[in-house]
Structure 1
Amino acid sequence: MDSVKGDFGRGLIVIGPVLVTLFIVYTLYSFIANFTPGILLNAETLEAILPGVGEYAREQLAGFLRVLAFVATLALAMYAIGQTTETTTGEVFEGIVDYLANRVPVIRVVYNASKTATETTIGTGDTLQTPVKIDTWGGLRMTAFKTGRTSPDGRVLLFLPTSPNITTGFVLEVAPEEITELDETVEEALTRVVSAGFGDADRADGDLEDVPLSVVGEMQSDGKPPQQ
């Protein structure tokens, strides 16, 4: 029974994320296909190009083309806005958006959370830099990230994310000599944090294979240790 449960669990670990990803993609696809207007691109528009195709197939194809057009337009808009934010005008515009979003009680929570999540996961520059280890209480060590900034007294500012939600955490001011830089990328360290440590399982198994093990002694059937 335990073997069946174990096989079922391993199968769920493989299939579960795939199903969740497909569901999210399908939901987004359906939303975009129904959200984008079909005035310029619909089944009637494609009838002249594909006269031998049924109306249902043309409607589905029109929806797919609308999704592609929406994604392409959105990508171009994000690229153009990203280029603009590097200028003084873009910085002023971004500051105005931040100011207006933070004036609304409910909107500011969603806005700041989504902005923090985006900057943390795909941000560049000085959002998250070198992953490090820091010693905490009781000899424990935690994974943190350099922010590229320092406090007025010369301490390094670190961001210590929580697991598995990396959009929340703590800002720490740590002396440079108390920081141990890791030989890994930001993506690898974030994967370990987001997965609550399970994302590093393969690496841990490989490390354990190199650790020599020795048997100190075995108990005899009468409960006494063996004679040396």
Structure 2
Amino acid sequence: MSSASWKRDFASGLVILVPLLVTAYIIVWLYLALTAVPLPVDSQEIELWNLSLNVQEPLRVALTLVIFVLVVFSLGYLMRTTFGDVIESGIDRVMNQLPGLRVVYNASKMAVETVVSGADELQEPVKIETWQGMRMTAFKTGQTTDDGRDVLFLPTAPNITTGFVVEVDPDSYTETNERVEEALTRVLSAGFGEAEQTSIPVDVGADDEDEE
């Protein structure tokens, strides 16, 4: 087995294993954090296959999740009202007056908005030539200006919560046949995570050896 072969196998194994370990770690961390929530849940034990199991922690986790979901839905319903808009504007105004914390608040808010609804709001991916001979991935927003220009969102990589809103003529960008998920994969992975490979890499070194 050549050096390049075992390096490729090792990297492929890491690609599969590391995300699973990180996901499992986050799940365990969240579970332990939820079990620490001080809720009035009595300690109870059940017999299962001759084993005595304490169901206090699972009950506390389930109750915490139910309360969290109810609070989220209640706040979401409130935000659809005029009173909710006033509350949100007031919270934003107060948080933006706090040095340091306003950066964390705005960044986390933008990240949540992108994760929850960003991919749904982004429309067809397009290619726009920002400089001579250089193309970048942008997304249609479905909005147009008064003078007929299309409004595009040009995200940065790998953080798509930042970017530029550009107004261009309809003939200034090139439409593609990509899906939104494919374009987002490329941007989020900084170009390393193409969903579909359209070309086969050529081993230049092997070709040179054959020619010799």
- TM bin, normalised by shorter chain, reads 0.7 to 0.9
Letter in 2 for 1:73: I
Q: 1:187 aligned to 2:171? A: no
Q: Report % sequence identity.
A: 47
| 1:82-97 superposed matches below 5 A | 82-97=76-91
Could you say if the C-alpha distance between residues 143 and 86 of structure 1 is closer, same or farther in structure 2, counting changes exceeding 3 Å?
same
| 1:147-162 superposed matches below 5 A | 147-151=141-145, 153-162=147-156
Larger Rg: 1
Unmatched 5+ stretches in structure 2: 201-207
Q: Is the CA contact (8 Å cut-off) linking 2:127 and 2:174 kept in structure 1? A: yes
| 1:40-119 superposed matches below 5 A | 40-43=40-43, 46-47=44-45, 54=52, 57-58=53-54, 61-119=55-113
Unmatched 5+ stretches in structure 1: 210-217, 224-228
Partner of 2:22: 20
Q: 1:174 aligned to 2:165? A: no
| Match for residue 124 of structure 2 among 121, 130, 134 | 130
Q: Which has the higher strand share?
A: 2
Could you say if the C-alpha distance between residues 100 and 185 of structure 1 is closer, same or farther in structure 2, counting changes exceeding 3 Å?
farther
Letter in 1 for 2:31: Y
Partner of 1:37: 38
Aligned length: 201
In structure 1, distance between residues paired with 2:118 and 2:110: 12
TM-score by length of 2: 0.80
TM-score by length of 1: 0.75
